[in-house]
């Protein structure tokens, strides 16, 4: 009955995705855009340049002056950045000499590559890339009285440092890539406004500090309850991994996460999740799928103006039922009290859809989606 065209758009076409990342934001944005998404980029943090980081310099000098027994390397880019920063300070060779004397544990294969590229060798690396496994090994070996340097990377390591200290270790954090609030808060505010107004369909998080920063800014603006409501119901929060999700989970927000904690799998997860969240209805002999800022008609992408999407969503809440002009007027942002605004927006919506029979005018009452009488009832409950 429905002749669905072969899609010439990506799986994220018609959806708007927020990106809160500071590092690798361009890469993530490009991956999303290649799959059809509109991207709203708002770095929730900025990274302190390594060469300017006095805390990292102080920690590096401490490693040189008081050589630790063990060094835990957690990320490839972080370990590499540490060595490069030390080089810039004229301490690179001295630091490498000290690291050749210690036991180095690498969290995963990428970190191992960075360690070996620096002319060093790791003692051990877990197959799981799990910091929990690293912690288990350290505790089994015994750490009482030992000095352990842990290369941090902006992410919290829940319980890791605390467990080592409780077992008697002296722990020194190497704060590679510390996070600070963004210098320009404007993009973050625009992302918050889009989220609470449902102008976003999903928002991505690639670090726990970015998630915490966004929540903090929402609280400062008095928008936290509205943001939490949006993330709980209409805006999908997608995190690169479980550690990143912790600040959101602390606020009762359920998130989606890929099985592999990488950008590619994160984007693939969105490609699976977002089309499933779109509403699909059989209307006037067509298959209609309602997305964030566009409508698919038999698989053909139809961009729709914001006012038209507001009307489309209002009609789709009760497909086949008449929706009064007064109710549609309330759904139009900033429309005031003039019902003529509904007629204008409706005309533009019909033009954008390219199939005028999808929406019927019911004289003196309002408008309705022309839901097919034989439609499976599941479409009415989607």
Q: What confidence score (pLDDT) does residue 4 get?
A: 41
Q: 16-47+182-277 domain in CATH 3.90.1150.10?
A: no
Beta carbons of 158 and 243 less than 8 angstroms apart: yes
Q: What integer pLDDT is reported at residue 335 of this predicted model?
A: 59
Nearest to 23 by CA among 187, 205, 186, 202: 205
CATH 3.90.1200.10 fits 50-177, yes or no: no
Q: How far apart are CA 16 and CA 74, in angstroms?
A: 33
pLDDT of residue 33: 95
> Counting beta carbons within 10 angstroms of the beta carbon of residue 209, is it exposed (0 to 12), middle (13 to 18) or buried (19 or more)?
buried
Backbone angles phi, psi at 245, to 5 degrees: -80, -10
The DSSP call for residue 37 is: -
Residues 6+ apart with CB under 8 A from 17: 32, 37, 38, 39, 40, 200, 201, 202, 203, 204, 270
Q: What is the pTM of this model?
A: 0.74
Each residue's pLDDT tens digit, 179-195: 788 989 999 999 999 99
Phi, psi of 347 (to 5 degrees): -60, -40
Predicted pLDDT of residue 129: 80
Checking DSSP bridges between strand 46-47 and strand 202-205, what pairing results, if any?
unpaired
Indicate the SS3 state at residue 93: helix
Q: Is 173 exposed, middle or buried (0-12, 13-18, 19+ CB in 10 A)?
A: middle
> What is the fold, at CATH topology level, of the domain defined by 279-380?
Arc Repressor Mutant, subunit A (1.10.10)
Domains 16-47+182-277 and 50-177 share a fold: yes
Q: What is the pLDDT of residue 382?
A: 37
Q: What b/e readout covers 307-344, taking b as 16+ CB neighbours within 10 angstroms?
A: bbbbbbebbbeebbeebebebbbebbeebeeebebbee
Give the total residue count for the chain: 382
Q: Phi and psi (nearest 5°) for 21?
A: -70, 150
**What is the token pair recorded at 364?**
């003196």
Extents of the domains making up the chain: 16-47+182-277, 50-177, 279-380
Per-residue tens of pLDDT for the chain, all 382 residues? 334 444 457 899 999 999 999 878 999 999 999 999 999 999 998 887 777 889 899 999 999 999 999 999 998 888 999 999 999 999 999 999 999 999 999 998 889 999 999 999 999 999 888 888 999 999 999 999 999 999 987 665 768 999 999 999 999 999 887 778 898 999 999 999 999 988 899 999 998 889 999 999 999 999 999 999 999 999 999 999 888 898 999 999 999 999 888 899 999 999 999 999 888 999 998 999 999 999 999 989 999 998 999 999 999 988 889 999 889 998 887 656 777 889 999 999 999 999 888 999 998 889 999 988 765 544 433 3
The helix/strand count (H/E) of the chain reads as 15, 17
For position 9, what pLDDT does the model report? 78
């Amino acid at each position: 009955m429905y002749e669905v065209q072969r899609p010439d758009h990506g799986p994220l076409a018609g959806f708007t995705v927020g990106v809160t990342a500071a590092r690798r934001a361009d890469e993530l944005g490009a991956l999303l855009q290649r799959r059809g998404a509109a991207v709203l980029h708002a770095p929730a943090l900025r990274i302190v340049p390594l060469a300017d980081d006095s805390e990292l310099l102080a920690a590096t000098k401490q490693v040189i002056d008081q050589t630790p027994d063990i060094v835990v390397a957690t990320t490839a880019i972080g370990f590499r950045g540490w060595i490069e920063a030390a080089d810039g300070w004229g301490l690179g060779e001295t630091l490498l000499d000290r690291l050749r004397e210690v036991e180095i544990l690498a969290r995963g294969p990428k970190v191992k590559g960075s360690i070996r590229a620096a002319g060093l060798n790791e003692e051990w690396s877990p197959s799981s890339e799990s910091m929990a496994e690293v912690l288990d090994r350290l505790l089994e070996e015994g750490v009482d009285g030992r000095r352990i340097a842990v290369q941090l990377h902006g992410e919290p390591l829940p319980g890791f440092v605390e467990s080592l200290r409780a077992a008697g270790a002296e722990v020194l954090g190497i704060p590679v890539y510390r996070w600070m609030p963004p210098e320009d808060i404007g993009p973050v505010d625009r992302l918050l406004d889009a989220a609470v107004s449902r102008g976003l369909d999903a928002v991505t998080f690639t670090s726990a500090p970015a998630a915490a920063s966004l929540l903090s800014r929402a609280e400062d603006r008095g928008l936290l309850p509205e943001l939490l409501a949006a993330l709980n119901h209409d805006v999908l929060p997608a995190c690169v991994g479980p550690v990143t999700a912790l600040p959101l989970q602390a606020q009762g927000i359920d998130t989606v996460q890929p099985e592999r904690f990488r950008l590619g799998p994160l984007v693939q997860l969105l490609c699976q999740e977002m089309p499933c969240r779109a509403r699909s209805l059989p209307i006037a002999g067509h298959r209609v799928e309602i997305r964030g800022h566009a409508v698919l008609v038999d698989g053909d992408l139809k961009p729709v103006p914001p006012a038209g999407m507001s009307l489309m969503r209002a009609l789709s809440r009760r497909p086949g039922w008449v929706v009064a002009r007064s109710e549609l007027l309330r759904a139009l942002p900033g429309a005031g009290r003039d019902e003529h605004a509904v007629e204008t927006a409706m005309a533009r919506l019909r033009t954008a859809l390219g199939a005028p029979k999808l929406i019927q005018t019911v004289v003196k009452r309002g408008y309705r989606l022309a839901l097919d009488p034989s439609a499976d009832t599941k479409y009415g409950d989607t």
